[in-house]
Amino acid sequence: MMASDKLIRAMNEQVGHELAASHQYIAIAAYFDSEALPRLAHFFYRQSDEEREHAMKIVKFVLDVGGGVAIPDVPAPRTDLTSAESAVALALESEENVTRQIYDLVDAAREEKNYIALKFLDWFLDEQREEVATMSALLQVVRRAGPEGVLHVEDYLARAGGPPLDSAAAAEGA
């Protein structure tokens, strides 16, 4: 096996974290869908898909290094969203948590001198830099727009590049 049992356990735990993030993004997307904000909904449905893809990358890595996959229980997402700002702030908090979790994996791989795992985790470090920057910028835009200007955020996302969507298309990740 090309990774220790300890590192495999940590990777499996991260699969759970990524799936939890995916579920949280579905809850955030559903909030925006219920508020008739299709671009924000689509943005977060897409984020959910990405988090699931991250989980699958880790599953594949665990299998490739000869480990066994053991997906942990995933906690229910928060659904107490009351505003665009609270939803996006929660997304940023989630990305910051995932970043710390990836750092912990990097530390574990470095401690074991597992260069294969370190190389694999480099992609996640770049991804987290991008995700935190994206959520920080979106939160800035939401705060600038204010509670009464959330439709400006929809326009911002339209200018950032995205087709007009209906709820069903957003839910399907179109």
Q: Which residue type sits at 84?
A: A
Other CB atoms closer than 10 Å to residue 123's CB: what's the count?
A: 12
- Classify the phi-psi angles of 146: left when phi > 0, otherwise alpha if psi is within -120 to 50, otherwise beta: left
**Contact predicate 66/3, CB 8 Å:** yes
List, in sequence order, the alpha helices (H) in 65-165.
84-111, 115-145, 150-159
All structural domains of the chain, each given as residue ranges with its CATH number in brackets, are: 5-69+81-171 (1.20.1260.10)
User: CA 125 from chain center: how many Å?
Assistant: 13
Which of 93, 83, 89 has the alpha carbon at shortest distance from 20? 93
pLDDT computed for residue 167 by the predictor: 43
User: CA 123 from chain center: how many Å?
Assistant: 14
Alpha-carbon radius of gyration of the chain = 17
pLDDT computed for residue 60 by the predictor: 98
Enter the pTM of the model: 0.90
Other CB atoms closer than 10 Å to residue 110's CB: what's the count?
A: 13
Structure tokens at 22: 């995916």
pLDDT computed for residue 1 by the predictor: 78
The model's pLDDT over 35-74, given as tens digits with 9 standing for 90+, comes to 999 999 999 999 999 999 999 999 999 999 999 999 999 9
pLDDT computed for residue 169 by the predictor: 46
Nearest-angstrom CA–CA distance, 19 and 69: 14
